[in-house]
Structure 1
């Protein structure tokens, strides 16, 4: 049992202790970046599903009320046109 505790958890032949520490530091940075990207992707997918649900709700419910557009030109535009003549 003592011999098992003295054995390293993992083994990288040919690496010094400093090289191993550097390698572990790089792995930690890469893993942190990867986890951040996974979390960001999950947040974006959740937001996209919310937007899709809102679009679906609006398209199936139809538009209530009467859509109308102004048929008279703006008084400001009318004054501008009269000034141009």
Structure 2
């Protein structure tokens, strides 16, 4: 289903997301029980933005596979979201082919 290059790109993006969440795990966990400081809020915002960018990159890659080149500026919701979400579930479960 996926060529080797695409699999490498998707795995790399997933690894980046996992690394990001792992590196900031202490901050994320502590903010659940104690109100974060302004600096911590800023850091959490940066983590959230990086996470979103990683997921968006995955959706763009899937969009190119399913629909051809991704049309920049049109947004995710112009692509086949159902197919992308199903594919993303397979990615996170480790069943990409």
* TM-score after normalising by structure 1: 0.38
* TM-score after normalising by structure 2: 0.34
**Which has more radius of gyration?**
1
> Greater RCO between the two (CA within 8 Å, min separation 6)?
2
More helix as a share of residues: 2
